[in-house]
Amino acid sequence: MGRRHYFIAYYILAFLLLCILSGCGGLTTEDEIYHYAGGGAPGDFYQLTANMTENTIFFQNMVTGESGTLSFQKVSEGVYQDSDEDLFVMIPNQMVVTAVEGQLIVALKEPDEPYGDEIDGEYYYADLWGEVGDATVDTANKKITSSFGDDLSYEYNTEYNAIEFTDEENLNLGYGIYLSNEVSVWDQYWRESTDDEFEPGGIVVSVRKGSNYDPADYAGSYYFLDREGDYGTFTIEATAEGINQIVLHDEEDIPIPGEDVTDYGDGRISFTADLVGADGPDGTNEEWNLLILPGKVLIIACEAEEAYGEEGEEDGGILAVAVCP
């Protein structure tokens, strides 16, 4: 075999090796894939895989076994719509929030290993019905306590890649996903006696309780989905001197002036405002709470009975979760 033939053979061999090392598709880069896990109201635990290269998202309900794959497209910054025409908001590789058939699903980046001391600390939380409180995670003793009266012990569940927590009487059960010590979502279940089956108890979303936040840190536009599947934007206008105003962009623009806003300085803001579309005394002058991880996540909660459900079929407060992509 001549020298020219040797060179040709080497080129062919090198090309074949490069194709093998690059995968069946030849010279392609790896797909951008993110794994998430979290809770879906009223009480299901989900694992999600988003392929940002192929624009597909795979979901699996760990409770019912239901699974499937949907395609999606980007609607605007941080906002996407899947092939079932459901909207979701996302911070890639950190957080996904979607609403499907009245279910609010909040999922966070799935951990690569069991949680350690990084989730220790104090959090503000809001449940599905708009109730707000605070919770403490004590990693040294693997305990979770809350202002609602919870006293829970937890262990890491390797099947769910989440913490599994329960009370001493084994009447409350739940799974928790944490994004470091910044954001968490709990998927909860309860029963009246140990002879009963667990029933869905809704989801709880929380953010780290800060200390001495600068109001300017809150500034930005946060894109939200609520438990009814409604989508909108909260814009917080603020400087170091304080919050100038908060504007809800929904069916109409609703401004809340800064003088009507109470800033607790640790990630919680409250104000009084009417529910969207309120007519008459019901749904007016309701208290709203915003729980903020500045520049990233905003939890919107209102306990008003009229906040959720059709007229005459109200079912308690509202919970919405927003991201600032």
Residue 164 lies in a domain: no
Residue 198 lies in a domain: no
Residue 140 lies in a domain: no
Residue 253's pLDDT is 86
Least Cα distance to 202 among 80, 315, 66, 67 occurs for: 315
Least Cα distance to 76 among 94, 92, 88 occurs for: 88
Give this prediction's pTM: 0.83
Q: Total domain count for the chain?
A: 2
Residue 290 lies in a domain: yes
Residue 280's pLDDT is 57
SS3 assignment, position 87:
strand
Residue 218's pLDDT is 92
Under DSSP, the state recorded for 3 is H
CA distance 316 to 130: 8
Residue 63's pLDDT is 85
Task: Give the DSSP per-residue string, 178-211.
Answer: EETTTEEEEEEEE-SSTTSPPEEEEEEEEEE--S
Least Cα distance to 266 among 239, 289, 234, 247 occurs for: 289
Long-range contacts of 161-168 (CB under 8 A, 24+ apart): 161/37, 161/47, 161/110, 161/111, 162/37, 162/45, 162/111, 163/115, 163/119
Range of the domain at 245: 215-323
Residue 119 lies in a domain: no
Residue 269 lies in a domain: yes
Residue 188 lies in a domain: no
Least Cα distance to 208 among 291, 91, 144 occurs for: 291
* Grouped pLDDT means (10 residues each) for the chain, 325 residues: 42 35 47 92 86 94 91 88 91 89 86 93 93 96 94 95 95 94 93 93 92 90 85 92 90 88 94 70 79 92 72 66 87
Burial of 14 from C-beta contacts in 10 A (0-12 / 13-18 / 19+): exposed
Residue 285's pLDDT is 78
Residue 201's pLDDT is 87
CATH label of the domain that carries residue 305: 2.40.128
Residue 11 lies in a domain: yes
Residue 30's pLDDT is 82
